[in-house]
């Protein structure tokens, strides 16, 4: 089995790449939300989704594992918030959220695996 090179930047992390793709998809999808949601759900879901990737990026540069894990845990919280917003948007019939939910679940699994690797 080929050994992966250590990540030199947060951009090298698959978990960050997937989180960033989720953010881009959220921005694209929320363009179709009702105009009255621009300062409500549209803003909230965009902020929570971008926070996932941003906290992964910030945590990457932290020196100690405990500090890294703290930022990745914050990222998990933002991801849970994003998942709730997707449920709400779905329930309000603001569009098809299935693909975004699948992407969020993938990021969640990757983030948990990444955190497990740091712990061990």
Per-residue pLDDT of 97-111, as tens digits, reads: 999 999 999 999 999
Tell me if 113 is assigned to some domain: yes
Q: Flag whether 3 is in a domain.
A: no
Element (H, E) at 103: helix 98-119
Q: Return the biggest CA–CA distance within the chain.
A: 53
User: Domain span at residue 83?
Assistant: 12-119
Does some domain include residue 2? no
Question: What stretches of 6-97 show up as alpha helix (H) in DSSP?
Answer: 14-30, 41-60, 65-91
pTM of the model: 0.92
Identify whether 4 is part of a domain: no
- Residue 103 within a domain: yes
Residue 6 lies in a domain: no
| pLDDT value for 50 | 98
Q: How many CB atoms lie within 10 A of CB 94?
A: 19
Domain-located, residue 29: yes
Number of domains in the chain: 1
Q: What does the pLDDT read at residue 6?
A: 77
Answer yes or no: is 46 within a domain. Answer: yes
Which residues fall within 8 angstroms of residue 21, CB to CB, at 6 or more apart? 103
108 CB-near residues (< 8 Å, 6+ apart): 76, 79, 83
Q: CATH code at 17?
A: 1.20.1440.60
pLDDT tens per residue across span 33-50 = 999 999 999 999 999 999
- List, for the chain, all residue ranges whose pLDDT scores fall below the cut of 50: none
């Amino acid at each position: 089995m080929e050994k992966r090179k250590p990540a030199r930047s947060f951009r090298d992390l698959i978990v960050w790449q997937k989180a960033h793709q989720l953010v881009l998809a959220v921005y694209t999808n929320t363009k179709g939300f009702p105009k009255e949601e621009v300062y409500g759900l549209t803003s909230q879901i965009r902020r929570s989704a971008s926070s996932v990737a941003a906290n992964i990026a910030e945590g990457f540069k932290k020196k100690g594992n405990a500090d890294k894990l703290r930022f990745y845990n914050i990222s998990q919280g933002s991801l849970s918030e994003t998942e709730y917003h997707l449920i709400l948007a779905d329930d309000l019939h603001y569009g098809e959220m299935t693909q975004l939910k699948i992407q969020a679940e993938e990021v969640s699994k990757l983030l948990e695996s990444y955190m497990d690797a740091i712990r061990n």
